[in-house]
Chains A and B, each alone.
Chain A
Amino acid sequence: MMFRVEVKSADGHTCGVPVQIDSHPAQTRPYAVNAIADSLLIDRKEIHSVLERGTEAQLRAHLERYTRAQLKPLHLRNEQAACLQFFEPDPVDSR
């Protein structure tokens, strides 16, 4: 299955981020989940919680924090961006 998230990058360009998802393996494979995380510039440690409770609006807001160069597919990126935190830190934890 393939879908595409279209966002306006931090430097003002319209960028499409295509994501391919395996539907056939009954058991989720780490490589498949990591590939989604890498495509969407989400920290691999955070990807499971994003998949569980992340919303489309949050995903767009997350991607819009990156520049066009950073939104390129993993191996085409000239500049590797550090993955930004997807969820806002919990105010209780940040105290």
Chain B
Amino acid sequence: MYSARTKAITVVKLALKRQLKSQEMASQGTQGQVEPLSEASPEYGCVMVFDTIVSFAEHWEEDGTHVLRSLDFDVVAGNEDFQRAIDQFVEKSEDLWSYLSGLETISDNENEMFLKMAPRFLNIYKELERREASRRESIISINFGRLRQRGEHSLRNWRPSTPASVSQPSHA
């Protein structure tokens, strides 16, 4: 629905609130015995867009790939770059949400997933709309600003309107 615009913004705004096992363990004084993240022992967090939770998720590494798996619906995303894995996770979640919302008949199981996603994506879209509106306002005000600026140089400057044949008044 809003994917092109969302992409542009989410890349900047995404954040995964990570509860790093390594940090937890370090604070407990067990530094050096950090268990590597795996599917069997992942770290938990949530993927957020505009401070709205898209999904609680687990994260682990697999052959140099960061894998994010939703704990709320069927979405898994992976990439060598963690931030890109988050971006993909959001895109795939949005794809699933769009897909479910476009179904003519929806089963109970899918509806359960849809209802979980609906308030979250609606919040995100509202925030996106709000930001778009304020962006448009700022563009308009910049344009007015430019017009005003241009006015100082072009509209308010003096233009000769007398025909060239009319003799110029003598200042003598």
Contact = CB atoms under 8 A, between A and B. Distances in A.
Contacts of B113: 73, 76
Contacts of B112: 72, 76
B62 A29 contact: yes
B95 A16 contact: no
A29 B76 CA distance: 12
Nearest to A3: B99
Interface stretch (B1-9, B64-72, B130-138, B153-161): B64-72
Q: Is the interface of B mostly helix, strand, loop or mixed?
A: mixed
Given A20-B96, A72-B109, 7 more contacts: A16-B109, A29-B65, A31-B39, A31-B76, A39-B74, A73-B109, A74-B74
Given A20-B92, A68-B108, A2 B78 contact: no
A76 B39 contact: no
Contacts of B63: 29-30
A71 interface: yes
B49 interface: no
Contacts of A18: 74, 96, 99-100, 110
Query: How many B residues are at the interface, by size bracket?
Result: 20 to 34
Interface string B86-124: 000000100110011001011111101100000000000
Nearest to A35: B76
A30 B62 contact: yes
Interface of B: 39, 62-63, 65, 67, 69-76, 78, 92, 95-96, 99-100, 103, 105-110, 112-113
A32 B78 contact: yes
A45 interface: no
A61 to B, nearest CB: 18
A75 interface: yes
Interface string A11-26: 0011111111010010
Contacts of B99: 2, 4, 18
26 contacts: A2-B96, A4-B103, A4-B110, A13-B107, A14-B105, A14-B107, A16-B103, A16-B109, A17-B109, A18-B99, A18-B100, A20-B92, A22-B78, A29-B65, A29-B78, A31-B67, A31-B78, A32-B76, A32-B78, A73-B74, A73-B109, A73-B113, A75-B70, A75-B72, A76-B72, A76-B73
